[in-house]
Amino acid sequence: MERVTVHAQTPSAGSNNGIEEPDISELVTEDDTPVDNFASEKQQRLLTEPLYSTWSGPPPDQEGRPRRFIAAANVGLFATPKETPLVPDAFLSLDVALALDIWEKKNRTYLFWVMGKPPEVVIEVVSNREGNELGSRVQRYAQMRIAYYVVWDPDELLGATKLHAFELRGDGYVPMATVFFPSVGLGLVPWTGTYEEFPNLWLRWCTSDGLLVPTGAERAEAAAKRAEMEAKRAEAAQARAERLAAKLRALGIDPNGDG
């Protein structure tokens, strides 16, 4: 939802690396409007938490070095100080990082002129018919130069299609047949399953081979299962060794080879 108000600004007298920064003293970076609902809140977390807990990150740079990223939910995107921002349900931006002083005003939200670029992927989750996700927002995100715009409509409130994905071409968007973002190394896929004890239809990140990016809880559960299987294999191997030793002793053979 568009929930944040921005006041017109005058340029700051100061400069940063020779570039004059706008005055953001009156910029409203948050207005304490509540998150939509529990389902949207969980969906937002499912689109951000796995990227930090289990994702290996975007493809390395040309020198093979890992790249940083920001994945966030319900945070405003400010293209310019004078434009009303958009507040997507989730976004992913590569080659940027949060500042350590996260409470400083210019670091509290996503300012394009501070980050130096727009996010690569923006995701809107439809919870009612008032968000205009397939209307004016399409044009606004294109103007912001968002490379990929995704609308997740699990209840089909906007039509018979649950997942809409668009790629920026020139000044506008074209629909994507396959929801995969090569520059990011990830795609999005509908998934029916249980997340945080709630069975539902969810939107999830996936890799190029179609595997889901697991949540931290799923990774921990998988690790626990592997450890349990390893323990069972070790127990079975020990039992086989003891049975063999017993047979050798019955034949008068020392299984330790001492006599």
Tens-digit pLDDT profile for residues 16-75: 555 567 777 667 766 666 657 899 999 999 999 999 999 999 999 889 999 999 999 999
Residue 169 lies in a domain: yes
Contacts of 233 (CB under 8 A, 6+ apart): none
251 — pLDDT class (breaks 50, 70, 90): confident
Chain segment 161-216, per-residue pLDDT in tens: 999 999 999 999 999 999 999 999 999 999 999 999 999 999 999 999 999 999 99
Rounded CA gap, 171 and 217, in Å? 41
Does 194 lie in the same domain as 173?
A: yes
CATH number at residue 140: 3.90.1570
- The Cα–Cα gap between 7 and 101 comes to 24
- 103 and 207 belong to one structural domain: yes
Chain centroid to CA 214: how far?
A: 11
Regarding whether 195 and 228 lie in a shared domain, the answer is no
Are 187 and 223 in the same domain? no
Contact 86, 144 (CB under 8 A): yes
Check if the beta carbon of residue 119 is closer than 8 Å to that of residue 168. no
DSSP secondary structure letters along 143-163: HTT-SEEEEE-TT-SSSS-SE
Looking at the fold, whether 183 and 120 belong to one and the same domain comes out as yes
Question: Alpha-carbon torsion 113, 134, 185, 52, what sign?
Answer: positive
* Claim to verify: residue 41 and residue 163 sit in the same structural domain: yes
**What percentage of the chain has pLDDT greater than the value 90?**
61
